[in-house]
Amino acid sequence: MAKTHIVKSYDQDLKSLKIKILEMGTACGHQLSEAVKSLKSRDHELAKKVIADDTKINALQYEVEQLTINLLAMRQPLAIDLRSVVASLKMASDLERIADYAANIARHVTELNGIVFDDTINIIFDMADHALSMLKDALESYQELNIEKATHLWRLDSEIDCGYEKLIDCLRTMMTEQPAKIRGATALLFIGRSCERIGDHIKNLAEHIHYIVTGTADIRDRI
Amino acid sequence: MGRPPISGLLVYQSRYYDAKRENMTEPESLKPKLKPNADGRVSRDNRQTVGDQFIENPRMTCRDVNVYYADKQAINNVSLDIGSNEVIAMIGPSGCGKSTILRCLNRMNDTIETCRVTGEITIDGQNIYSKEIDVVALRAQVGIVFQKPNPFPKSIYENIAYGPRIHGLVENKTEMDEIVETSIKRAGLWEEVKDRLDQPGTGLSGGQQQRLCIARTIAVGPEVILMDEPCSALDPIATAIIEDLIDELRQHFSIAIVTHSMAQASRVSQRTAYFHLGDLIEVGPTSRIFTSPRHELTEDYITGRFG
């Protein structure tokens, strides 16, 4: 919506909320990429930092909640403004969950010890890379309110789901054939599960963006 | 020229009636579907009505209504149904024609010399601009409540009794007492005034006066009640009482309300019609209009953007 409000400070309030969501989204992306980095390099110190930094995301979520509650109370937003404010609140909650899963990934890094997983772990790296690029797209489409981009990334989630299924198959075989690796494999399973859930939350982000623009969150309508 | 105290009680000649009939246009056939933008909204350049302007079992209908004040056209081809037992809110910026269309519904515009109406407006299937229509009876059938409370400078009792008396609705004092009591009760004012019915109506507070005016409208047995910004002169408490009353009255009457307060439109109405420079832009369920309007002009207005 190119038009501006007659009351200019209202635009400023909405802009502040948008910037806060983008800030939170960027911070979540950072948490996820650091978690994956700690997984790749088995860097326990980095993993601990990711776990500790989760509180920063929670603080950002609290700030978003305060901004939205103030906007609702002070401006009584309607139509696209109402949809933006309500969707922002929900997006903050999805982003907070994404960061939680990033911290979960970091938590399991310490359990992998020196176990070598051959190609199996690459499936997780692919899933995580995919999730990171989807998150980036989600933030871009939110910034531009671009529903084409949102719809596209909404569909991409199925690739993460496929990766997850592949991962489970590989891990089953591994646990059957190499019982010594069961502890590590279980950790990998949890990590894979976290990536899969992150994909679902990014899918939610796409639905919220779709809702802001069109008034309906049902992207399937567009297929 | 001051506003008449109550529409149903004053006689106006419909001098312009013949001119209106001659100018009547052919009803528009099915309008082409509007092509929405990528985001599903209709662009600002479009002036055709979007949404649900027609409903099943309407109490009143407007078809291709045009209104002119001398040479200036105030309403462009508006078609809209007013439902039974519903509140329809008419919103839009000043000069959009919402009050004009409201006043057409009981021919209040007959009082304006230069005003000319074309098209068809019906109540229960009958054209209200036809020659057979008795305007006095019409205005009892379609009552109106104005922005500023305007009780007669008479007692509370007489304010209510005047209408039924001149319309010959009562035969004796007992019947009159009953109609006065029922009307004031329906307007939610009884407890506050029952012990001082002989006191002047003008001595009541603004909110009470407005409810007295609503009681006065109800007393002549209307089907439709028109309200032209009925709360704009009232404080939030009196406004809430009137809004609660509107909700009660909906059980018995059809109500069309013009309001500048979008919060009020969203609180009291089930349907909302948005007007813009004499065009009816969008009509729909109030909840949809305020969460996800289909026309960009509606969205601009209700979100407070430059229009």
Taking only the tens place, the pLDDT of each residue in B191-244 is: 999 999 999 999 999 999 999 999 999 999 999 999 999 999 889 998 999 999
Q: Do A3 and B262 touch (CB under 8 A)?
A: no
Per-residue pLDDT reduced to its tens digit, A94-131: 999 999 999 999 999 988 877 777 788 999 999 999 99
Closest chain B CA to residue A75: B303
Beta-strand runs (E) in chain A? none
- Strands B142-145 vs B224-228: parallel, antiparallel or unpaired: parallel
Summarize pLDDT for B97-142 with one digit per residue, the tens: 999 999 999 999 999 999 999 999 999 999 999 999 999 999 999 9
Q: How confident is the model at residue A1 (pLDDT cuts 50, 70, 90)?
A: low
Nearest-CA residue of chain B relative to A11? B305
Supply the pLDDT for residue B4: 38
Angle at B169 between CA B164 and CA B172, to 5 degrees: 95
| The pLDDT of residue A23 is above 80 | yes
Q: List CB contacts (< 8 A) between A213 and chain B.
A: 39
Q: What is the pLDDT of residue A140?
A: 97
pTM score of the predicted model:
0.84
Q: Which strands sit side by side in the sheet containing B58-69, from one edge to the other?
A: B72-83, B58-69, B115-123, B126-127
Instruction: Dig out the tokens for A66 from the structure.
Output: 């305060």
Q: Which residues of B touch A (CB under 8 A)?
A: 38-40, 262-263, 266, 290-293, 298-300, 302-306
Question: How much is the mean pLDDT over chain A?
Answer: 93
State whether the Cα torsion B151-B152-B158-B164 is positive or negative: negative
Question: Using CA atoms, how far apart are residues B6 and B152, in angstroms rounded to an integer?
Answer: 9
Distance from CA of A96 to the nearest CA of B (A): 26
- From the list B38, B39, B303, the residue facing A79 with the nearest CB is B303
Answer whether B278's CB lies under 8 Å from B75's CB: yes
* SS3 state at B307: coil
Quote the pLDDT of residue B307: 55
Cβ count near B190 (within 10 Å): 17
Give the pLDDT score at A20: 98
Q: Verify whether the Cβ–Cβ distance A80 to B303 is below 8 Å.
A: yes
Which candidate from B263, B293, B298 shows the least CB-CB separation from A76? B263
Determine which of A100-109, A205-214, B3-12, B213-222 has the lowest per-residue pLDDT on average. B3-12
Whole-number Å distance between alpha carbons of A47 and A130: 20
In chain B, which residues have their Cβ closer than 8 Å to the Cβ of A5? 303-305
The pLDDT assigned to B1 comes to 38
Q: Is the pLDDT of residue B24 over 70?
A: no
Note the pLDDT of residue A112.
Answer: 83
Tens of pLDDT, residue by residue over B262-271, are: 999 999 999 9
Asked if the Cβ–Cβ distance from A215 to B40 is below 8 Å, we say: yes
A214 vs B39, B299, B306: nearest CB: B39
| Structure confidence at residue A118 (pLDDT) | 77
Write the burial class of residue B101 (CB in 10 Å: 0-12 exposed, 13-18 middle, 19+ buried): buried
CA proximity to B111, closest of B100, B125, B119:
B100
Interface predicted TM-score (ipTM): 0.81
User: Cβ contacts of residue B130 below 8 Å, gap of 6+?
Assistant: none
Other CB atoms closer than 10 Å to residue A152's CB: what's the count? 14
The chain A residue lying nearest B303, using CA atoms, is: A78
User: What is the pLDDT averaged over residues A59-78?
Assistant: 96
Which residues in chain A have their CB less than 8 angstroms from residue B293's CB?
79
pLDDT of residue A220: 72
Give the residue on A whose Cα is nearest the Cα of B305: A5
B112 burial type by CB count under 10 A (0-12 exposed, 13-18 middle, 19+ buried) = middle
pLDDT in tens, B146-202: 999 999 999 999 999 999 999 999 999 999 999 999 999 999 999 999 999 999 999
- Shortest distance between the Cα of B37 and any Cα of chain A, in A, equals 10
Q: Which candidate in B292, B298, B301, B306 is best for mutational testing of the A interface (most A CBs within 10 A)?
A: B292
Residues of A with CB under 8 A from a CB of B: 1, 3-7, 10, 76-83, 147-148, 213-216
Contact between B251 and B85 (Cβ < 8 Å): yes
Whether A70 has a pLDDT exceeding 60, the answer reads yes
The whole-number pLDDT of residue B22 equals 41
Contacts of A10 in chain B (CB under 8 A): 304
In the A/B pair of chains, how many CB contacts fall below 8 A? Answer: 49
Is the confidence at residue B30, as pLDDT, over 50?
no
What is the per-residue DSSP string for A91-121?
HHHHHHHHHHHHHHHHHHHTT-TT---TTHH
pLDDT at A17 over 50: yes
**Residue A115: its pLDDT value, please?**
76
Q: Average pLDDT of A15-42? A: 96
> Taking the mean position of all CA atoms in its chain, how far away is CA B82?
10
For A74-97, the pLDDT digits (tens) are 999 999 999 999 999 999 999 999
Confidence category of residue B41, pLDDT binned at 50, 70, 90 = confident
Q: What percent of chain A lies above the pLDDT cut of 70?
A: 98
Q: Provide mean pLDDT across the span B2-18.
A: 34
Contact yes or no for B176/B159 (Cβ under 8 A): no
Task: Identify the top-confidence range among A37-41, A57-61, A186-190, B129-133.
Answer: A57-61
Query: Given this model, what pLDDT does residue A221 score?
Result: 60
Shortest Cα–Cα distance, A7 to chain B (Å): 8
**Average pLDDT of span B68-82:** 96
- Contact criterion met (CB < 8 Å) for B291 and A82: yes
CA-nearest of A13, A211, A189 to A94 is: A211
pLDDT digits (tens, 9 = 90+) for A172-192: 999 999 998 898 899 999 999
Q: Are B89 and B126 in contact (CB under 8 A)?
A: no
pLDDT for res B254: 96
- Least Cα distance to A35 among A129, A152, A123, A161 occurs for A129
Which pLDDT band holds residue A2 (cuts at 50, 70, 90)? low
d(CA A121, CA B249): 69
Q: Which residues pair with B213 in a beta bridge?
A: none
Q: Indicate the residue of B39, B263, B304 with minimum beta-carbon distance to A5.
A: B304
